[in-house]
Copies of this chain bind each other. A is one copy, B any other.
Amino acid sequence: MAEVAKHVGVSAMTVSRAFRQDASVSEETRRRIMDAVDALGYVLDQSAGSLSSRRTGFIAALVPSINNSNFSDTARGITDALENTGLQLLLGYTDYAPDKEEQLIEAMLRRRPEGIILTGGQHTSRARRMLEKAGIPVVETWEIPETPINHVVGFSNGEAMSLLVRELAAKGYRKFGYIGGTTARDTRGSQRRSGFLKTVEALGLETDRVISFGVPPITMEQGGQAIISMLERWPDTEVVLCVSDLSAFGALMECQRRGLRVPQDIAIAGFGDYEISSICHPRMTTINVDCYGIGKQAAVRLLDALQNDDERAGDITLTGYRVVLREST
């Protein structure tokens, strides 16, 4: 920067100002500075800048995974909301593991992000302490934690699943099955399952048709294997709800491969409304949960908190969901 300054014949401070929108630099000077910047190929050093200004321009976001999952849409929503704000997203993958999340939170905080977006409400106590101490706005997404850290942008996975059960019951289905992953690591998966069980029970129907298979996030293939087990154990099952569209799709395809007609022989529904569900044949019943919007709103919430000097008033934004009935049920 000093070099640019010398080249133009101004002070480094003026060069620094020329890079900012709001600073008062005459048009003439700014033009000459920018010419010199181009000529010299100078690129601003933001690490130095952030040390001095105490604004790093980073926003951290942690998602369980990004491959073939709803979270890639959420990440996209965050990225889009951050566009033209000068903020840069630091993305991390937790693999659904709270201790990996803890590590990542520490790694992120070392970069002094101005805000952080998390997925879910399950965190280690050390993670909570670090976040507390960091004094930056936090947004938890994708569910409604019992004890939110700060802001929340999400919905009740249990209630969403419950709604689907009730709509399908209204269509006349009585023998409900459920396919999900094995562990409780995926809290959203667990919530969906308990929403399913609670509602099926409330309707006075059998609750034992549950297949737990595969480590979350459960794959398409595992969905296919799971429905085979389901139909072997409970051949008279009328409708199977799956923890995600991906497993539901695997189940659907496996049924077709075996000559089972969907929905006549067995109905199938997913969760998440992935693109695939509106394209596959038969088109799949699912729950649309606005993954993109969750990311976008979380980021907007964060930006808002940053502007208003976040008074730490935790604020819960409920995102919408709706059952999308299609041909598979």
Contact = CB atoms under 8 A, between A and B. Distances in A.
Contacts of A97: none
A112 B51 CA distance: 14
B66 A220 contact: no
Interface stretch (A86-94, A167-175, A301-309): A86-94
Contacts of A221: 275, 278-279
**Residue among A43, A46, A254 with most chain B CB within 10 A:** A43
Interface residues of A, number: 50
Contacts of A279: 220-221, 224, 249-250, 253
A43 B281 contact: no
A45 B275 contact: no
Contacts of A20: none
> What is the count of identical protomers in the complex?
2
Interface string A247-284: 00110011011000000000000000011101111000
A124 interface: no
Interface in A19-77: 41, 43-48, 50-51, 56, 66-68, 72-73, 75-76
A5 to B, nearest CB: 18
30 contacts: A41-B133, A43-B110, A45-B110, A45-B112, A46-B112, A47-B50, A47-B51, A47-B111, A51-B51, A66-B76, A67-B73, A67-B76, A68-B68, A68-B72, A68-B274, A76-B93, A79-B93, A88-B90, A88-B111, A89-B91, A219-B275, A220-B276, A221-B275, A221-B278, A224-B279, A249-B276, A249-B279, A253-B281, A276-B276, A280-B280
Interface of A: 41, 43-48, 50-51, 56, 66-68, 72-73, 75-76, 79, 88-91, 93, 106-107, 109-112, 129-130, 133-134, 219-221, 224, 249-250, 253-254, 256-257, 274-276, 278-281
